[in-house]
Amino acid sequence: MTQVQWIDKDPNGKDQHESGAKLDDGKIKAGLVVGGFAKALLEVSKVGTFGALKYTPDGWKEVPNGLNRYNDAKYRHMLLEASGEYYDQETGLLHAAHEAWNALAKLHFLLEEDDDDDHLGIG
């Protein structure tokens, strides 16, 4: 797994022991994703909620061969949208939101595989 090296430093040049110091210069700014994609993430969350109600919360993590199966689901939603169908017939939600959810599931499995490889000393 690739690690990013962060330098612990205050963006205003304060010493870490000085009052008001916060060593967050150069760190990931997750608020850019949450704030910048709030509407999109809300739609993806609706897809996740639908799935949790239809099946079980987080049950998708236990699906055998999940990486390939959710990747296929992502492609199905992509193809349906490309064919002119913008909303999923079962959920009424945008295929793009389903595609994004499946892309996140795929990313989850890839990161889990990467973590497993690191633990085994192969990565």
Distance CA 92, CA 85 (A): 11
Give one word for 9, left, alpha or beta, with left for phi > 0 and alpha for psi -120 to 50.
beta
Among 11-15, 71-75, 114-118, name the most confident range: 71-75
Going from the C-alpha of 39 to that of each of 24, 30, 77, the distances in angstroms are 27, 15, 19
Q: Is 60 exceeded by the pLDDT of residue 3?
A: yes
Q: What is the CA radius of gyration of the chain?
A: 19
Per-residue pLDDT tens for 61-72? 999 999 999 999
Q: Which of 11-20, 32-41, 81-90 has the lowest mean pLDDT?
A: 11-20
- Taking each helix axis as running N to C, give the angle between helix 95-120 and helix 38-54, from 0 to 180 degrees, rounded to the nearest 10: 80
What confidence score (pLDDT) does residue 123 get? 42
SS3 96: helix
Per-residue pLDDT tens for 30-52? 999 999 999 999 999 999 999 99
